Every structure is written in structure tokens, then in C-alpha cells.
Structure 1
Amino acid sequence: MSLIADRVAHEGSASQPIPRASGVAATRLQTRIVSGSEWDHTIAGFDEVCQEQLHAFAATRWPSVTQEPMLFLSDGEVVGGALVMVQKLPLGLGKIAVSKWAPMLKDNAHPDADVIHADMVEAMVADYADARGHMLSVLPRASIGPVNREYERLEARGFKRGSELGFPNRYIVNLRLSDDEQRKSFQQTWRRQLNKSEKAGLTFEHAAPEAIEDFNALYGAMTDRKQFTDHSAYETVPALMAIDVPALRPELFFVRHEGELVGGALIFKAGDRAVYLYGATNDKALPLRAGYFMHWHIIRWLRDNTTATWYDLGGTDGFQGLHQFKKGMVGEAGVIRPVPPVANYASKPLAYLLGAGAFAARDAVYHVRRVIAGWRNPKTLPTQRRDADESAE
């Protein structure tokens, strides 16, 4: 799930930052670093809020780094934010400031949204790169439009291209369609499989948070059956389900056949883009086409119960079957867009050299681990061509 922060060396302070003013302001914005609790409550109403930017998630996923939740204000009003993770480099040679899926806009329809985003980037550069001497590493989320303007803005500011995913595409469903429009949007094969699933005697259930233990059992059995090493952030699920901000708590869905649990999903629903976090099925799910049935009903539930415009299905990890399944669901009305490369910036050449070198070393280690995993279990090897046509337009 994480390309960059997962590869940050596990050193450094995990102390909770005390709320304070950062002392640095962009041309138009002021910044304020706040506590994790205040941060999660504040960003719950952001259009661009996402799981990776939650303090409850990051503090569990990366406990050895310093979490700095930074709010951006214009004339005293919060307009955006970025959860920044500050990590020491080995031997105390320097520090890297990492922010994934950021900076986030509170209102992405604001008439000055582009200016606000540029000023948030400027404030981050002024604080982390100029004042502190860190390398700043930013990863914007995939765009809905054909051009990722946030990434272009970073490049124009002097950020340099860094690490990138081997299979960067995200598969994003349009939620603002009627049932008839949505079914027509699905690719023909996907729609045919959905029709068959609806005749298989399946039932769909929106479950209470307390039912997470049933999902845990299903997920554990699935990973044991597939014999895949789980590199996801599943260890963060208890913290996410216990979060005291209902809007940020993932929703749990089940599919049953004759009373037996055959499939389930955890969905992040806040903001303008809902996200498929985790799914699990048993052996009976495939012939029953339970995945088609489940996602169809999740799409309808998100449309009717949230303000989200889009449903992000995530990537494929290089598996052709997932590509076909998600591409068919995205259909004609959705989009397939890549996560851009990481963008790195440092005010001082030595800071950039050390930071970029640390990430290059991490990328090399990660590559070796993937090769070894492929030798041990060929099922983990990608089956999707990197140059495959993944357009949904």
C-alpha cells in the first residue's frame, strides 16, 4: 500500500508533537502543527481526506517516526493540511520529511484551490527544506483528470522525480450514476458476471463495527490459503475501527450464501473519494461470483449514504486478473489514472544527495525482497504486462 513511507528506515523518535505554531508562513498561508487527536477531528470534513493522512493510521503503521500534523490557515480559517512524517537518516546524517497523498485541500471546489495548493507546498518547502534542512518527499494522489496538476506544480517548483510504483494505476468508479447508468457503464463481461451473481442466492449486509472479528477470521483464512506474505497495513485495522470520529471509521460489508459468510470488505468513506481498503473471500466466493455482487452493492451504498463522488478500488499489484476485474467495474464512466512518482526537494545539495540515496537503497532492498518472494512462491510474481492498455476512456 505504501511505496515510500514503508521504506523509510525504522529509526527516530515516535514522540507525540506538542501543538505549536511552526513559525513559518507562506506568502498567503499560516501553518500550525497540532496534536494527532485534533488533526483527525479537523480533517474529517476535508474533501481530500484519506486513510494514509490519518494520525490514527500513521501512528500505528509507522510508530518509529515523528508525526507532524500540519494545518494550513488563511486569515485564521483552515484551508488544508498535510501529515508529515519526519525520519532520521542512519548515522544522524540528516532527516527526511515524507508526506503521502498530500497536501490535502479542505474544499477542492474552492475557486482558489490551485493557489491554495501551491501555497501549501510553498509552506512545506519553507519549513522542512529551507528552515530545517531536510529533504521533503511528497506523493500526490492519483488525479481524476488526465493531467495530474498537483504533480506538475511540484515539478515546476523544483521537485525532482523519485521512486515510483511498478504498477501505478488506480481504478476509480464514478459513484454519481443511477442504477441503470451504472450497469450500462460496466464492461459487458463484468455486467454478465454480475447478472449471474444475482441468481446465486447471495445476500448483502452492511455490518456493525463489532463484526470486525468475523472479517478478521475471513481475512486470515484467505491469506493462509493463498500463501502470500501480507505487506499491507492490515495491522492498522483495530486502530481505524476504534477511531472516535465516525466519519473516518471504515464501513464493513459482508456477502453471505445460505447464511455462510463468503466475502467481505472494509471501505474508507470520508471525503470526495471512497477507498476500497481490504477484501476477503473464501473458496466458495469465486464460483458464486460474490465479488461482483459485493462491489455492486457497495457502489450503491456509497452513492446513497455518503457525499463521495468516486470509489477508488486501488491498484493491481501486477495481477492480470485484478486488472480485468477492476477495469470492467470502472467501465465507461470511471477513470484509470496513475499514482505519480514521488517528488523530492531539498534546498541544500547534500540534503538531497543523502535523502535520495537513502530512498535508492530502500528501493534496491525492496526489489531484492520481491525477487526472493517470487522464488519462494511463484504465485506472487506479476502476471500483468506493464504496457497493457488500461485506459477506461
Structure 2
Amino acid sequence: MSAIAERLVDAGDAAHSGAQSKGLLVPKLETRIVSGAEWDRTIAGFDEVCQEQLYVFSVNRWPSVSPEPMLFLLHGEVVGGSMMMIQRLPLGLGRIAVSKWGPMLKDRIRADAQALHAGMVEALIADYADRRGQMLSVLPRASTEPVNHEYAHLVERGFRRGSQLLFPNRYIVNLRLTDAEQRKSFAQKWRYHLNKSEKAGLTFEHASAEALPEFEALYAAMTDRKQFSDHSAYDTMPALMAMDADLRPELFFVRHGGELVAGAIIFKGGDRAVYLYGATNDKALPLRAGYFLHWHVIRWLRDNTSAEWYDLGGTDGFQGLHQFKKGMVGDAGVIVPVPPVANYASRKLAFLLGAGAFAARDVFHALQRKLDGWRNPKTRPTQARSASEEAGQ
């Protein structure tokens, strides 16, 4: 028996026969719910850390939800964690335990990573579904591999498919390339616009957190100009920018003749940097400032972080954004879907109540999109679903 197998067997009996059938010996992990400060401090070094799993983000984004930061330990060593958000159902009928972009591994490339992920899932089931009688709702992050093993395991374990984004694809750039390799990877048209931008007299700037008000002014002006309803988590930015350096997002500006024309806020933690927010003024488009900005952000992330990937997010159904991001991903990156939500309950009533609550939420969001489109036709999707699903589904 290998050393890894011996260690997993010693940790406890295999938690689920389905996991064993795939060659995994699933460890029984110790769980520990910690304070928000300890949680953010601990997960700062996780490979899979992300904005949505931060305590500071959760309490500012979802003030009506009860956060439970849960660490997972093997032989006393922290191996992973999941920010659990406990949502109370109307009339006190029950509760849903939600993990978005979790559970997270501390070390994504360790030999027993898949077994540890399965162990974290078993621990969540035992606590929230079996002991507390809640529906457990898990949304793994998009995988850069051809198969999303985390989602596949959830399905095998008995989780049922829930809601999915209308345009689920994430556009992810490979950061571990030389300048020449990266430019070669870009689509020809993207590279053409980048070349033009480099002749437009633009300058790139890595700004400090104290420059956030300058970005906020640009962002507010852009939102007013486009008249888009902002349903994002932008209001959490002041709290995130006040965090310690390891988890604090980075701020980047592009100027023309000293005038700020474009800016971006990037989460840089873990193995995957994420584009959070961007803002431009009217001069940015003819100057091709977006191309210039992202090119220099890619190079900065490569040279100043350990991130392997740069996640550009989705498109919200806009064809122009699809073309821009697809061209930047190029040949070396990947376009992959965020999987559907996976739901599990040990008790039938808990599942029915939880699934019903999610269905009602989906109807509300659909009506919200229609209302936004009626108020401002520019917010209506222009991207065909077939285009959204290419190269990733």
C-alpha cells in the first residue's frame, strides 16, 4: 500500500462506496468553524482562494445570510475550507447551506487532492444535510481541465442538478507564457488592436489602494452613461481594498495625456487571478484602451504573482464582450463553463423546500432581466447561446 493510501486509511474509514469505486480512499476530516478574521488570514495561502469565499466579502455582500467559515483538517493540518452561507427560508420553514466556488483545497496539486475534495464533501453532508437537516447547495468553480472532476464527484455522490447561468462560460487566459508566446496566442484581430493601442500614446499604471476614489468616479460615470442597472457586488470594494496585501485586490489604470481613460480591479490570490470590475470613459474605445490595459495586466500578474490563470469572467450575453474575451484567451487559454449548482438533502422535505426557494429566486431574476431590458434595450443579450457554449460545453 502506498504512503498516501496508508495516510488516508488511518484518517478514517472510506466515507462513501461510490468514491472507492473510482479508486479514491476518502479521508474522514476534522471540521472547525472559525472567526471571520482567522478564516481570511488562513485561506490567504490557499491555491483555490477566491473573492466569493472571503469572510469580508460575504458579510458585506449578503448581510441577511449567516456566514460559517469552516476549515477541514487531516491529522491536525489544515487542508481545505469552505465559506458556508446559511440562508433562512421564508416563514422559518428551513435553511439552505450554500458553498459558492467551494469547497477549496489549500494545495490543489497534492497527490491526494481529489480524495481530500471528496472528504470535504462528506464532511459537509454529515454536518449540514444529515445532522442539521438542511439542503446543501454547492457550486464548484469552473475547471481549466477538460473534465470538472469536482462537479462529476458531486453528481456521483447523489447531488442533483440545480440552477445554471444563462451564459455559463468563463474566459481564462494562460499566464505562464513569455511575451512573445502570449502575443502569438492572441487571435489575429485582437493582436491587431493591441498593436494599434501601443501607438496611441497610452500609459499603464499599477495604482495603490488609496486611488480607489479615482476608479469609483470613472465607474460611476460609466454606469450613468450606459444607464445599466448595477446588480454586481461593487459595493463590497471599499471593504476588500482595506484588507491585508495578500488578499487585497489590485488596481490598474490606463491614462492618455494624463487623463484616466480606463481602469480595472483584479483579485490576485491563489492560482487563479480574477477580473472583478472595469471602467472606461468615451475616449477608451477609439484608443483601444481595453486591449492595452489587459495586455499589461497579464504581464503584471505573470511577473508579480504565482497565479497560473487569469479569469476574465463571463459575458452576460453580450456578443462584443464574447469576441473581445475570446480573442484574448487565444490558443493557449481555455473557455469553460461554470457547472450547474449541485443540491443535496438527506431529508425529502428539506430538498423540496430548498429547491422551491431556488426556483422562486430564478423566476425573480428572470423577471428582473426582462424589466432591465424593457427599461434599457442595451441591456438585452446579443450573444446566441450556441456561441456561449462553444469550446467549453
1:252 counterpart residue number: 251
Partner Cα separation in structure 2 for residue 27 and residue 178 of structure 1: 40
How many residues align structurally? 368
1:100 counterpart residue number: 100
Alignment of 1:241-320 (within 5 A): 241-243=241-243, 245-320=244-319
Q: Deviations over 1:42-72 (max 9, x none)?
A: 0000000000000000100001111000000
Preserved CA contact (<8 Å) 2:169 2:392: no
Partner Cα separation in structure 2 for residue 373 and residue 106 of structure 1: 40
2:342 counterpart residue number: 343
Preserved CA contact (<8 Å) 1:172 1:335: yes
Question: 1:28: Cα distance to partner?
Answer: 2.1
1:249 match: secondary structure: coil
Query: Does the alignment pair 1:380 with 2:379?
Result: yes
Preserved CA contact (<8 Å) 2:27 2:115: no
Preserved CA contact (<8 Å) 1:276 1:312: yes
Change (3 A) 1:392 1:103: closer
**Unaligned segments of structure 1, at least 5 residues:** 1-24
Alignment of 1:31-180 (within 5 A): 31-180=31-180
Query: Does the alignment pair 1:361 with 2:357?
Result: no
TM-score, normalisation: structure 2? 0.92
Partner Cα separation in structure 1 for residue 350 and residue 296 of structure 2: 49
Preserved CA contact (<8 Å) 2:84 2:99: yes
Code of the residue aligned with 2:214 in structure 1: it is D
Partner Cα separation in structure 1 for residue 247 and residue 296 of structure 2: 20
2:368 match: secondary structure: helix
2:22 counterpart residue number: none
Question: 1:390: Cα distance to partner?
Answer: 3.4
Code of the residue aligned with 1:111 in structure 2: it is A
1:145 match: secondary structure: coil
Preserved CA contact (<8 Å) 1:330 1:392: no
Preserved CA contact (<8 Å) 1:51 1:268: yes
Question: 1:354: Cα distance to partner?
Answer: 0.3
1:9 counterpart residue number: none
Question: 1:392: Cα distance to partner?
Answer: 7.8
Code of the residue aligned with 1:151 in structure 2: it is Y
Code of the residue aligned with 1:259 in structure 2: it is G
Question: 1:309: Cα distance to partner?
Answer: 0.2
Partner Cα separation in structure 2 for residue 266 and residue 365 of structure 1: 29
Query: Does the alignment pair 1:332 with 2:331?
Result: yes
Q: Deviations over 1:93-142 (max 9, x none)?
A: 11000110000000001100000000000000000000000000000000
Give aligned-pair identity as a percent. 75
Question: 1:27: Cα distance to partner?
Answer: 4.6
Code of the residue aligned with 2:383 in structure 1: it is Q
**Unaligned segments of structure 2, at least 5 residues:** 1-14, 16-25
1:276 match: secondary structure: strand
Question: 1:373: Cα distance to partner?
Answer: 1.3
2:18 counterpart residue number: none
Q: Deviations over 1:13-46 (max 9, x none)?
A: xxxxxxxxxxxx9852100000000000000000
TM-score, normalisation: structure 1? 0.92
